[in-house]
Amino acid sequence: MNKFKRILGLTLITVLLLTQLTFAQGKMELNLEPTTLYHVKLIKDVNFSQSGDGNQPNLSMDILRPTSNEPLPAIVYITGNAWRYADRSVNLPMFAEIARSGYVIVFIDWRASSNEKFPAQIEDAKTAVRFLRANAEKYNIDPDRIGTWGHSSGGHLASMLGTTGDVEEFDKGDWQGYSSRVQAVAAWSAPIDLGTINPPSKASELHTDNSSLLLGINVYDPANKEKVAAAGPTKYITEDDPAFLLIYGDKDPVIPIKQGEDFYDALIAGGVDATFYKVISGVHSSIQFTNQEKIMNITKDFFDKELKGE
């Protein structure tokens, strides 16, 4: 079992360090590690489901595809936005370099919580994974190497993908006959226990109660405890689940770090490989995380290990 819990210190204000460098004189030889970088092509608005709601009858995905004839691992990225809407374009630039290193990056739609209640959102995510397996040859995807990555509510859905691989009740929609299991999960600042994210007073301060909107019930009512648990990934943990990378900020005002710590403990107790990073002074913004090369490298290295065996 892989068990790592680490503290990651980040400098949030750029500091220029003036260092005096001394260079040796003479002729030198430099050995470089071989690397493969691909050109990438963006394929927009690929329909993967006809089971959307009235406002969005079809669900689509954007695919960043390296120009390679060999099957490559894929990463399904799920945006946040409190389950209220999916913006497939917002994170395209930051993934270009990852795609160039040999990944098919997929950005998916899912039904908004204002139109459809849970479990519609995880059903859509699982449909997207099945679509990729059904069309693996077309998009040069290795169907045995599909991971998922999400921030905030997207991290919740990514985590649900990770622990519900064999949960048939969520495998609704198109492309039946193909597995919706994933082989690696990276979750940043993900809500896990939807009934304890923010107490009612805090939710009122934030002018929102996104968890209750998602489920269509009062998530703080003790009578709804079982329904709330069924909407979180912890309930479905089994020892054959894929490896997880969890990254949380210790100053996050939206998703308390305890959400990630408790989930990490549950994964380890369930026999699942898991790594947890606490970001010192980290808040909730995905922009803060993606602008930090250290966090991006940790996440890419995780997928390299789990999907490429590097």
Residues 25-49, mean pLDDT to the nearest whole number: 77
Residue 29 in domain: no
What's the pLDDT band for 93 if we cut at 50, 70, 90?
confident
Percent above pLDDT 70 for the chain? 81
We report the CATH number of the domain holding residue 303 as: 3.40.50.1820
pLDDT band (50, 70, 90) for residue 89: confident
Residue at 7 is within a domain: no
Query: What pLDDT score does 207 carry?
Result: 41
CA distance 205 to 266: 30
pLDDT at res. 9: 56
Lowest mean pLDDT among 6-10, 88-92, 275-279: 6-10
pLDDT of residue 58: 84
Q: What is the mean pLDDT of residues 61-90?
A: 90
Domain of 288? 35-308
| Average pLDDT, integer, range 72-92 | 87
157: in domain: yes
Does residue 221 form part of some domain?
A: yes
Q: Is residue 170 part of a domain?
A: yes
Task: Give me the pLDDT at residue 19, please.
Answer: 37
- 81-94: average pLDDT: 79
Give the mean model confidence (pLDDT) for residues 205-212: 69
Stretch among 66-80, 205-219, 259-273 having the lowest mean pLDDT: 205-219
- Compute the average pLDDT of residues 235-242: 98
Tell me, yes or no, whether 126 lies in a domain. Answer: yes
Q: Tell me how many domains the chain contains.
A: 1
Position 105 in a domain: yes
Closest CA to 246 of 231, 234, 229: 234
120's tokens: 């519609």
> 84-117 burial string, b = 16+ CB within 10 Å, else e?
eebebeebbebbeebbbbbbbbbbbbbbbbeebb
Q: What percent of the chain has pLDDT over 90?
A: 62
Domain assignment present for residue 5? The answer is no
